[in-house]
Amino acid sequence: MTDNVRNGGDIDPVRARIGDNVRAEMGRRRRGQNWLADVLGLSQPQVSRRLVGRIGFEARELVLVAEALEVPTSAFFQGVAAPADEVRAA
C-alpha cells in the first residue's frame, strides 16, 4: 500500500501546486484553513484535502477564494505547467 492510498487518496501534482499557491496567498494575508472553510462553506478537513491536492478545487471555489483574498485567480496557477509544456519537456 502506498503512502498516498494510506493517507486517503492520490495527491495530484497540479492540484497540489494550486493548493500551495492558495495557501501562500492565505499566508500573506494571515488567513487560516478555518477562514477558508467559512468562505467556501466547507469543513476544515475538506479544505485541508484541497490544499494538499487530494481533491481539486472547483473553478467556482477558486473564484470565491480569489475574491475573498483580493487576488486574481491567475495567482493560483503560478508554476503550473500547461499540458503542452509537459509534452515538450518529455
Which region, left, alpha or beta, applies to residue 68 given φ > 0 means left and ψ of -120 to 50 means alpha? alpha
What integer pLDDT is reported at residue 13 of this predicted model? 92
CA distance 44 to 10: 19
Q: pLDDT, tens digit, for every residue of 20-50?
A: 999 999 999 999 999 999 999 999 999 999 9
Q: Which three cell numbers stand for residue 22?
A: 492558495
What percentage of the chain carries pLDDT values higher than 90? 74
Whether domain 3-89 has CATH 1.10.10.10: the reply is: no
CA distance 6 to 9: 7
The type of residue at 12 is D
Query: Residue ranges per domain, the chain?
Result: 3-89
